[in-house]
Amino acid sequence: MSKILAITNQKGGVGKTTTTINLAASLAAAKQRVLLVDLDPQGNATMGSGIEKRDLPTTVYHVLLGSNTLQEVRRRSQVGKYDVLPANRELAGAEIELVDLPQRETRLKDALQAVTGEYDYVLIDCPPALNLLTLNGLCAARSVMIPMQCEYYALEGLSDLVNTIQKVRANLNPVLEIEGLLRTMFDPRNTLAQQVSDQLQQHFGDKVYRTVIPRNVRLAEAPSYGLPVLYHDKVSKGAKAYLALAGELLNNAAKSVTVK
Ligand code: ATP
Ligand code: MG
């Protein structure tokens, strides 16, 4: 069965998309079969996977509204070696159109059921909002990865997100759990970042990934070439960090199998 992860944080610009793309490519490089789901009308994960969002006849929007199947819409990221359920601006309309449809929160979950045996990992890039699109991501997922910057307001936003996850678990998706918190754009010379990072570890213990993603210019420039950082500069600190994160995930998965 696929491991389905929603990469989410309602705060904008914390590294959700960068994490989704580069984790997808790093897991694929470790021989995992990966599907990336772009749930953001910005379409950044689509573009960053080397797929032109403006040329797409169908997108995740059509899957959510039920006019096309996931199998018809998915594309191959040749550069990343994973599959993509792409998105573009059209998806912004889904928010309103979904409201009157039955099972509006579980449409992605239902669509994924048809392909679950085909992938080891499904990574869902959520938009920076706690809206119906994000809810679809949270209902489809078994766990949540939360990328965050270690700055002053980060912990405050985190409690809103944890509340939302608890509500989703109570009402819509009882198996949902927090897979982990990922420190992104980390600068160890910044004292405040270090303090927030310490607080995170105190509150969340081993839910905080050991891997830390450093601030790295290669990570920021790779999307402009439509490439995961691994294929832009594989020896960069950013590429190594995301390979390490993939390793940590695979290790945790192996451990939980042994424990069971
Ligand atoms: P949004 O909420 O708009 O969807 P996001 O949470 O998906 O944003 P990203 O788009 O991944 O965040 O990152 C925001 C910006 O920061 C981008 O320009 C990205 O290239 C840059 N960035 C992300 N991670 C890093 C990093 N580790 N080092 C340097 N730049 C980074
Ligand atoms: Mg994003």
Strand, coil or helix: what is 220? helix
Cα distances from 178 to residues 76, 115, 202, 230, in angstroms, run 29, 23, 16, 27
Say what the pTM is.
0.97
- State which CATH number among 1.10.260.40, 3.40.50.1820, 3.40.50.300, 3.10.105.10 fits the domain covering 3-259: 3.40.50.300
> From CA 2, how far away is CA 27, in angstroms rounded?
13
214 CA: nearest ligand 1 atom: 27
> From CA 2, how far away is CA 211, in angstroms rounded?
23
Q: Tens digit of pLDDT for each residue in 44-74?
A: 999 999 999 998 999 999 999 999 999 999 9
Residue ranges of the domains in the chain?
Answer: 3-259
Closest listed ligand to the CA of 14: 1
Whether 220 lines ligand 1, by a CB cut-off of 6 Å, is: yes
> From CA 123, how far away is CA 127, in angstroms rounded?
13
CA–centroid distance, 8 to ligand 2, in Å, is 9
Of all residues in the chain, the percent with pLDDT exceeding 70 is: 99
Query: How many Cβ atoms from other residues are within 10 Å of residue 12's Cβ?
Result: 10
Residue located nearest, by CA, to atom 14 of ligand 1: 13
Residue located nearest, by CA, to atom 31 of ligand 1: 220
Q: Tens digit of pLDDT for each residue in 220-257?
A: 999 999 999 999 999 999 999 999 999 999 999 888 77
Do the strands 208-214 and 121-125 form a parallel or antiparallel pair, or are they unpaired?
A: unpaired
> From CA 66, how far away is CA 111, in angstroms rounded?
9
Residue located nearest, by CA, to atom 23 of ligand 1: 15
CA–centroid distance, 15 to ligand 1, in Å, is 4
Q: Tens digit of pLDDT for each residue in 171-226?
A: 999 999 999 999 999 998 999 999 999 999 999 999 999 999 999 999 999 999 99
Ligand 1: which of 10, 17, 38, 237 to mutate, most ligand atoms within 8 Å of CB? 17
Residue among 55, 54, 72 nearest 63 (CA):
72
Q: Tens digit of pLDDT for each residue in 75-118?
A: 999 999 999 999 999 999 998 999 999 999 999 999 999 998 99
